[in-house]
């Protein structure tokens, strides 16, 4: 009997421990409710102090998780294991999430601070009337470089990357859309091309760039450029801004043939368990003070004109990061190409990677 009692007690203890562990894991993996908000965002893409401020103002506890690609974000939302209340995808992924019925329509009456957004960034083709999304940050793809190390090259043209003097000095971001798009733009084609002949020509031209390519990498390029261990890199404008803040010898250019104009927007996934809290967070982030603080911290371009009025004039008038409307006319937003052509772009990007020795 004593053994039976001991065994029973042991089972009760183990069960209690398992229940406790399960609850702890659920809390850590983004279990949401009316008093909790689970946010899914890119890494280092928000001022942490703003999360604390939102918690203090609303009493809502924030759980913050990060992703490193739009595709990884969408997969997690599709799986539904975590009740994400806010996600921040890029424009083409918003289109895809709409198609797969993964988003909740926004109640604009709960987001009065939308009035602070520049109309230029509203009602764009990937989300008519901003039914599902609200602008967060925007930017371009271009070339960051050290003028003292590249001679007369100023990268006003994509062609400069093919200059023989740059042998084994060029770093590229590890993104099929960015790199294949660069090849397409260099030939005067759309970076959303669905023409197989254009895609073949762009890839063949990129293969000719291979002798100049040092490596295809991610965030590692930032310290390399800051420490003058790298000369030239294809990158996003905000990442270039971080580099230039730390190293004043660097410069950034968006080639005149055209490039990508990208947008990251806040959305409410179908997984949300705190829709009111999600609206409150979006409105909080669109506040002028919040927008200015976040833009200063992150370094990317804000669509919030009320925030821009509070920011350093030297920053918001810098056409490398806030191009004029005339300059924007040469830029394109990524479109959702569909699975077949997305696979084609990835296949051609892999072919290009294989050509680099």
pTM: 0.80
Summarize pLDDT for 182-233 with one digit per residue, the tens.
Answer: 999 999 999 999 999 999 999 999 999 999 999 998 778 899 999 999 999 9
Token pair recorded at residue 29: 């993996």
The alpha helices in 69-175, defined as continuous H runs, are: 70-79, 91-99
User: Which helix (H) or strand (E) element contains residue 19?
Assistant: helix 2-28
Q: Which ranges in 159-312 belong to alpha helices (H)?
A: 176-186, 196-209, 221-226, 237-246, 275-285, 288-298, 305-308
Place of tokens 């599902």: 132
34-137+262-316 and 139-261+325-355 in the same fold: yes
- What residues contact residue 287 under an 8 Å CB cut-off, 6+ apart? 113, 116
Taking the C-alpha atoms of residue 343 and residue 349, their distance in angstroms, rounded to an integer, is 10
pLDDT, tens only, 268-323? 999 999 999 999 999 999 999 999 999 999 989 999 999 999 999 999 999 888 98
Query: Which pLDDT score is estimated for 4?
Result: 38
- Classify the phi-psi angles of 168: left when phi > 0, otherwise alpha if psi is within -120 to 50, otherwise beta: left
| Domain limits, the chain | 34-137+262-316, 139-261+325-355
Give the CATH superfamily of 34-137+262-316: Periplasmic binding protein-like II (3.40.190.10)
Cα–Cα distance, 188 to 184 (Å, whole number): 6
CATH architecture of structural domain 139-261+325-355: 3-Layer(aba) Sandwich (3.40)
């Amino acid at each position: 009997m004593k053994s039976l009692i001991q065994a029973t007690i042991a089972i009760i203890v183990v069960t209690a421990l398992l229940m406790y562990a399960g609850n702890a894991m659920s809390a850590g993996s983004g279990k949401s409710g009316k008093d909790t908000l689970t946010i899914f965002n890119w890494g280092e893409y928000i001022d942490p102090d703003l999360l604390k401020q939102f918690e203090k103002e609303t009493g809502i506890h924030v759980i913050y998780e990060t992703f490193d690609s739009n595709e990884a974000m969408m997969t997690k939302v599709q799986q539904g294991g975590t009740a994400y209340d806010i996600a921040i995808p890029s424009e083409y992924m918003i289109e895809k999430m709409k198609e797969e019925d993964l988003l909740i329509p926004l109640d604009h009456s709960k987001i009065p601070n939308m009035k602070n957004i520049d109309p230029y960034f509203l009602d764009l083709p990937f989300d008519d009337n901003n039914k599902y999304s609200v602008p967060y940050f925007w930017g371009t793809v271009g070339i960051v470089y050290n003028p003292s190390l590249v001679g007369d090259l100023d990268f006003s043209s994509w062609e400069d990357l093919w200059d023989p003097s740059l042998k084994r000095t060029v770093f590229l971001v590890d993104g099929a859309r960015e790199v294949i798009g660069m090849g397409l733009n260099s030939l005067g084609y759309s970076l959303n091309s669905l023409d197989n002949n254009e895609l073949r020509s762009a890839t063949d031209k990129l293969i000719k760039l291979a002798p100049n390519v040092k490596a295809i990498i991610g965030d590692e390029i930032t310290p390399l450029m800051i420490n003058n261990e790298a000369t030239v890199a294809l990158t996003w404008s905000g990442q270039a801004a971080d580099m230039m803040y730390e190293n004043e010898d660097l410069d950034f250019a968006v080639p005149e043939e055209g490039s990508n104009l990208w947008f990251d927007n806040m959305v409410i996934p179908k997984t949300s368990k705190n829709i009111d809290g999600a609206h409150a967070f979006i409105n909080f982030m669109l506040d002028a003070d919040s927008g200015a603080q976040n833009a200063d911290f992150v370094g990317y371009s804000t669509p919030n004109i009320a925030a821009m009025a509070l920011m350093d004039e030297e920053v918001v008038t810098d056409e490398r990061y806030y191009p004029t409307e005339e300059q924007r006319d040469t830029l394109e937003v990524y479109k959702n190409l569909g699975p077949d052509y997305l696979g084609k772009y990835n296949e051609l990007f892999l072919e290009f990677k294989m050509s680099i020795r």
